[in-house]
Amino acid sequence: MTALARTVEVTRRYGEALALDRVSLDIGAGEVVGLLGPNGAGKSTLINLFVGLRRPTSGTVELLGGSPSDPVVRRGIGVTPQETGLPEALRVGEIVDFVTSHFPEPLGRSELLGRFGLTDLARRQVGGLSGGQKRRLAVALAFAGNPRLVFLDEPTTGLDVEARLTLWDGIRAFHDDGGTVVLTSHYLEEVEALAKRVVVVAQGRVLADDTVRAVREMAGVHRVSFVADPVSELPELPGVLAHTVEDGRVRLVTGDADRLVVSLVRSGVAFSGLEVRPTSLEEAFLALTASAVASPS
């Protein structure tokens, strides 16, 4: 598989803050890759490095065999940033034409607008569009230049269900024609609907890079906490991924909460204040990294 884009040991700092920490990632031709992670995880920084808006503090970024800072190389990509702030005074068609004029073999205006359900809006001024319509236009613009690779930073934020589905269809059609997609999202279901491969990013690092299915299993993680008396008599419990004790309260992260609770009861240790709650994907991964750091195995 040839890599269309790649980072090698990329670190990016903003002053003292470390946004990306030695990230190495290959984006293969024809892939749909979902970047998943909490706010401030480094997803947008990673996208900004790929599209040439930022340069790495150290490490290298390669795009279509060249450098992202080379405009000629960028003819092969399309971008939807997290915020676009489309010029309010211009008409939809005028913005499409403006973006299109940068590319040697662009999609036709009507084809592009049709693909994203925007045909009726071509003559409307952007200032008069709804938030969802603006977002659809912003995503459509990424495809205007007939790119090989698109970067979509939270493409469906603020969209209703129907608009989201239209957009997903547009992205799938692009992928079916051999296009490569990198998209970020907070939502596992969005990534699941589009991507086969998920890269989980948190605190500037890649925590997992796997199939959607594998990541979803990891995400089925629960937090179990209780006060045990005494803590020292607690036996080894099954399936514990992370383990901390704070003020006598035991906090566990596990992939199988049911089995853990059964074992806890059978152990005969007195406990109180039992809590079992699902973790968000983000929490699960933070817990996983915390335990990975605490007990390298």
Partner 1 sequence: MTGLILAHTRHQMLEQLRVPIGLIASAFFPSVSMLVFAVPFTGDDAAAATRATASMMLIGAMSAALIGLSVTIAQDRELPWNPYVRTLPAGPLPRFAGRILTTLAIMFLAVIPVLVIAALLTEATITVPRLLLGLVALAVGAVPFMLMGLFLGFLLPSKGAVAVSQIAFFPLAIVGGLMLPLQFMPEFVQTLSLFFPARGSGELMWWAVTGAAPHPAALAALAVWTAASAVLAVWAYRRDEGRRFS
Closer CB to partner 1, 82 or 203, in the complex: 82
**109 near partner 1 (CB under 8 A):** no
* Paired tokens of 23: 């990230």
**101 near partner 1 (CB under 8 A):** yes
The site that binds partner 1 (CB under 8 A) totals a number of residues, namely: 30
Residue 8: strand, helix, or coil? strand
Question: Strands 58-63 and 77-80: what pairing?
Answer: unpaired
* Paired tokens of 292: 């990975």
Instruction: Give the Cα separation of 46 and 205 in Å (integer).
Output: 10
CA distances from 132 to 96, 234, 257 (A): 17, 53, 40
**15 near partner 1 (CB under 8 A):** no
x/- track of binding to partner 1 for residues 33-72 (CB under 8 A): ------------------xxxxx---------------xx
Omega into 147 within 30° of 0, i.e. cis?
no
Residue that is written with structure tokens 């359900």 in the block:
117
Instruction: Give the Cα separation of 111 and 107 in Å (integer).
Output: 7
Report, in Å, the least distance between residue 227 CB and partner 1.
Answer: 49
**181 near partner 1 (CB under 8 A):** no
Site for partner 1 (CB under 8 A): which residue of 74, 115, 135, 164?
74
Site for partner 1 (CB under 8 A): which residue of 11, 84, 225, 291?
84
Residue 225: strand, helix, or coil? strand
Eight-class DSSP state of 91: B
Site for partner 1 (CB under 8 A): which residue of 103, 168, 187, 271?
103
Instruction: Give the Cα separation of 81 and 204 in Å (integer).
Output: 19
**87 near partner 1 (CB under 8 A):** yes
Burial grade of 120 (CB within 10 A; 0-12, 13-18, 19 or more): exposed
Report, in Å, the least distance between residue 161 CB and partner 1.
Answer: 25
The interface region with partner 1, picked from 22-30, 87-95, 112-120, 209-217 by CB under 8 A, is: 87-95
**109-110-113-117 Cα dihedral, nearest 10 degrees:** 180
x/- track of binding to partner 1 for residues 208-247 (CB under 8 A): ----------------------------------------
Closer CB to partner 1, 96 or 195, in the complex: 96
Closer CB to partner 1, 95 or 200, in the complex: 95
Binding site for partner 1 (CB under 8 A): 51-55, 71-75, 77, 79, 81-87, 89-90, 94, 97-99, 101-103, 125, 145
